[in-house]
Structure 1
Amino acid sequence: MQPPGTKRRAGRATAASLGVIAGLVAATAAATAFVTAPTVNATPAAAHRLSWTSCDAPDYPGAECATLSLPVDWDRPDGPTFELALARRKATGPRERVGSLVFGPGGPGDSGVDRVVEGISRFSPEVRRRFDIVSFDPRGVGRSNPITCSADLLAQRPSPEIHDQAAFEATLDYNAELRADCRQRTGPLFDHLDTASTVRDLEAVRVALGEPKLTFHGSSYGTLLGAQYAETYPHHIRAMVLESVMDHSVATTRTFLRDQGAAAQDSFNEFVRWCKASTGCALHGRDVRTVWKGLLTRAERGELDNPKAPGTRISSIDLVNAIAFRAFYKADFAGLAKTIATMADTSPLPAAPTALSPLPPTAPIFCSDWNLPARDHREYTSLVRTLHRTAPDMPYLLPVRVVASCLGTPATNLQHRLKVDGAPKILLSNARHDPATGYPWAQSAARQLGQSGVLLTYQGHGHGSVTNGACMENTVDAYLTELKVPARGTACPAQSL
């Protein structure tokens, strides 16, 4: 890590194209602010109707692509513009077509265009039959004026293990230098990456599609987009599914990290419980926590081979996030157990330094949406301790990395409780054991939506739930196609692991 004020050489640039988890957060040096929702009732005027042409993707035939010219700053509609990239797959049953269903991708950093072009397996055959599936690369992502930063500078990101005030200040200096680099390379859009701006983009997409009302499915970070669209344009909604729900009312960094830690630790506890009960677990009969802690210790010493890149060492932070946490997304308990067992039974490598895998350069989107500050080293250390007490098996969980990466960055789309007036019924869907967007977040968002919010519970595991079994799929399908709203309290059984 460079000392404070040291200049770093800005090398080759990289554009944001990969998503990270929904639970990543932004931190600033200012006090947490709690504000009411913005009031933006004007409908953005579409510059033109969309002109669809075949996507340049010979390996994935059938998808169509288009672009939509939109303002960088919606408060200056006559100012600079950028091109929003979209893709669609037409309804397979055109005679029974309901309209367009717009998918809001997660991350932030996930490409909705790629999701559509490469396949749309998250939607059932019935939904694909009745709807054109449309998605887009949100502003700053993929093909939509991507956030572009020096790859060399990104690779120098300091560790989230900040042990003194000098390291804290060095992190602030680094973050400021990286922001300046990304702003210079990205252009004016860099200062308008917040979800409130993307809400206006989404409304422009609805207008350009010619849809009188929006049918929307948001996943993970896309649920923040959907919820804020419901605040801003409540009367423009036909149907809305929010899957794996974010709670943007969380007011403090400590509460946020405690919530995130609790969700991840719950998944780890479920994994341990499954291994004890299942003979299909490669760790069955062993003390899973003891084996896991042994791996963490070896990783801290630089003695653990990286199963995703044999011959290289994996850090303890990447062991937690890239190996365990990611496996919990798909509830791949069997695969995780096999990986842990293989690593535990492999001879230690000679001790050597390890390097963290880089974060994709989409953190500025988080930073613009979340004001979760740490004032100094002492407060930051206290926040990390809170996370570790909550999630003792998941030290330096990924949200802490993004807290550190956004220190000193001012947020613009501040946290607030949802205020939705006049929207139709909105269907929220969440797994009981979601490692990234914990079930209490979905409950909180449903309460904030009041009469408009109906929570559908999947009693199983994983991040994402709408196609987990016939009960979930049929309930969501009936809502989207026929506007049949399930009874409050509806829950669907877990599928076998």
Structure 2
Amino acid sequence: MQVIRVHRSGGAATKDPLLLIAGGPGQSGVDYAVVAAGLLPESVLDRFDLVGFDPRGVGRTQPIRCEHADTGTPTFPDLLTDAGYARAAGLMRGITNECAAALGSKAALFSTTATAVDIDRIRAALGQSTLTYLGWSYGAKLGAEYARLYPDKVRAAVLDAPTAPGTTWIETVERQIAGFESAFDQFTAWCATQDSCDRFRDVRKFVGELVRKAQESPIPSRRPADDVPTYGVDVVDAVVASLYDDARWPDLADGLREAADGDSGTLRELADAGRGGDSEDALLVINCNDSAPGPSEGEIRAAGARFAKEFPLFGVWGSWQLFGCAFWQPTRHTLQPPVAATAHPIIVVGTRHDPATPYGGAVAMAAILGNAELLTWEGQGHTAVGRNDCVNRHVADYLASLTVPPHNTRCAA
């Protein structure tokens, strides 16, 4: 397993380790530890060395790589027709089978529970009787599993932007799609105040029409080095990637304005930046090993029809996710509810307008853990630690001295 320890000069003469648990599953924690050194407050860097790791199957730790066949032109699934469902199911079955074949008997070795056991090995290797750690997104889910398995080994834990434990696959997909719809409403409200959006006062209508037109006739890029056209699904991917952080909203507004003039260069850059590459394989395998079997064909088709009606921009796009792990056959290690009797309260952080892991997930995680306190940021985008001074201050105090924020603390946007 690849591990990195980031030490900044200054502060305490001897620094304890702060384990950082990156998102995904599929994000490199080694790479993110370097990024986090520029995001976390100086008081944390003065008190702790940052320790990042690539979980099994990720980055530099025997990465999961599946050979995928070319699926042709990017498109949306039409789950409302037999032919459309058959095509979408065939593509997802093929991707799933390719990963299962690539891993063979090793497929069952990659799961959140297995990685939580690895984390305890890291704790022992660091010479720590108890562990202090901070997890973002999927890393919060993994951190909760560690606390469930080893509650007596947790000194302090911060879980930022977790998903809601115990939800079905379809419920999880629906909450995320609803989260992106809500975040897009926030973007449109912001856009109405910007001169860069004066070409499309009804942003939702404009984007919907742009997606439809681009699917029928892909938008070229006017950049000399880019000859890949942008389809409707790419437009949605660009919007989704931009909703993760409101700092990207100006770029999204510029990209939409350029696309109106027939240039998709900025939108393609945004879409490509949001795609996971090889990490998509790790995400599939680990999520499927964590999940109960299903959903069934009837459940997928019913949910797809409902999403198309209820979520006008992201419903059809999100229907791909409904297949999830329906075709995954290797042995699974379904996650248990993360009840954790830790010596000190765990801090769960939730962002009020988080599109990827909606705020309700943080509320549910704090409640299920049992010994936890919820810290809320009334902001935009995915995750809060490292992005908001108020959240950073409470997290730094907690990590250093186990000072728990007052009950129901909320940080302004």
Equivalent residues of 2:75, 2:232 under 8 A apart:
no
**1:178-235 superposed Cα distances (whole Å, 9 cap, x missing partner):** 0343215xxx543211100001000000000001110000011101110011111111
Taking the aligned partners of 1:335 and 1:248, their CA distance within structure 2 comes to 34
1:294 equivalent in alignment to 2:176: no
1:234 equivalent in alignment to 2:234: no
Shift of the 294–159 alpha-carbon distance from structure 1 to 2, 3 Å rule, reads closer
Q: CA deviation at 1:365?
A: 1.2
Q: CA deviation at 1:269?
A: 0.7
1:429 equivalent in alignment to 2:349: yes
2:41 corresponds in structure 1 to 124
1:194 equivalent in alignment to 2:115: no
CA RMSD of aligned residues (A): 2.7
Counterpart secondary structure, 1:127:
helix
Structure with higher helix content: 2
1:467 equivalent in alignment to 2:386: yes
Taking the aligned partners of 1:434 and 1:89, their CA distance within structure 2 comes to 29
Give, as a single letter, the amino acid of the residue that structure 1 aligns with 2:389: A
Give, as a single letter, the amino acid of the residue that structure 1 aligns with 2:69: L
1:318 equivalent in alignment to 2:237: no
Equivalent residues of 2:177, 2:315 under 8 A apart:
no
Counterpart secondary structure, 1:200:
helix
Taking the aligned partners of 1:424 and 1:393, their CA distance within structure 2 comes to 43
Shift of the 232–170 alpha-carbon distance from structure 1 to 2, 3 Å rule, reads same
**1:90-138 superposed Cα distances (whole Å, 9 cap, x missing partner):** 2433535451000011011111112234662232221111111001100
**1:393-449 superposed Cα distances (whole Å, 9 cap, x missing partner):** 224445x43443633114623254322224421111121100101011111111112
Taking the aligned partners of 2:387 and 2:215, their CA distance within structure 1 comes to 37
Counterpart secondary structure, 2:59:
coil
Give, as a single letter, the amino acid of the residue that structure 1 aligns with 2:308: H
Equivalent residues of 1:175, 1:408 under 8 A apart:
no
1:211 corresponds in structure 2 to 128
Give, as a single letter, the amino acid of the residue that structure 1 aligns with 2:341: D
Taking the aligned partners of 2:132 and 2:243, their CA distance within structure 1 comes to 29
Equivalent residues of 1:268, 1:393 under 8 A apart:
no
Q: CA deviation at 1:243?
A: 0.9
What does 1:83-482 align with in structure 2 at a 5 Å threshold? 84-93=1-10, 95=12, 97-117=14-34, 120-150=37-67, 152-153=68-69, 161=77, 162=79, 163-164=81-82, 166-167=86-87, 170-171=90-91, 173-175=93-95, 177-184=97-104, 188-250=105-167, 252-276=168-192, 278-283=193-198, 286-305=201-220, 310-321=226-237, 323-331=238-246, 332-346=248-262, 360-362=280-282, 363-371=284-292, 373-376=294-297, 378-397=298-317, 400-404=319-323, 406-410=325-329, 412-450=332-370, 452-482=371-401
Taking the aligned partners of 1:280 and 1:492, their CA distance within structure 2 comes to 29
Taking the aligned partners of 1:459 and 1:155, their CA distance within structure 2 comes to 40
Shift of the 229–295 alpha-carbon distance from structure 1 to 2, 3 Å rule, reads same
Work out the percentage of aligned pairs sharing the same amino acid. Answer: 29
Equivalent residues of 2:88, 2:320 under 8 A apart:
no
Taking the aligned partners of 1:158 and 1:320, their CA distance within structure 2 comes to 12
Q: CA deviation at 1:310?
A: 4.1
Gaps of 5+ in 1: 1-83, 349-355
Taking the aligned partners of 1:335 and 1:203, their CA distance within structure 2 comes to 41
Taking the aligned partners of 2:200 and 2:66, their CA distance within structure 1 comes to 48
**1:16-71 superposed Cα distances (whole Å, 9 cap, x missing partner):** xxxxxxxxxxxxxxxxxxxxxxxxxxxxxxxxxxxxxxxxxxxxxxxxxxxxxxxx
Q: CA deviation at 1:258?
A: 1.8
Equivalent residues of 1:272, 1:289 under 8 A apart:
yes
How many residues get paired?
Answer: 394
Gaps of 5+ in 2: 265-271
Equivalent residues of 2:373, 2:407 under 8 A apart:
yes
Taking the aligned partners of 2:209 and 2:76, their CA distance within structure 1 comes to 22
Counterpart secondary structure, 1:421:
coil
Taking the aligned partners of 2:185 and 2:313, their CA distance within structure 1 comes to 9
Counterpart secondary structure, 1:149:
coil
TM-score norm. by structure 2 comes to 0.87
Taking the aligned partners of 2:307 and 2:336, their CA distance within structure 1 comes to 23
Q: CA deviation at 1:306?
A: 5.6
Counterpart secondary structure, 1:393:
coil
Q: Which of 383, 391, 405 is matched with 1:486 structurally? A: 405
Shift of the 370–342 alpha-carbon distance from structure 1 to 2, 3 Å rule, reads same
Shift of the 119–440 alpha-carbon distance from structure 1 to 2, 3 Å rule, reads closer
Shift of the 405–174 alpha-carbon distance from structure 1 to 2, 3 Å rule, reads farther
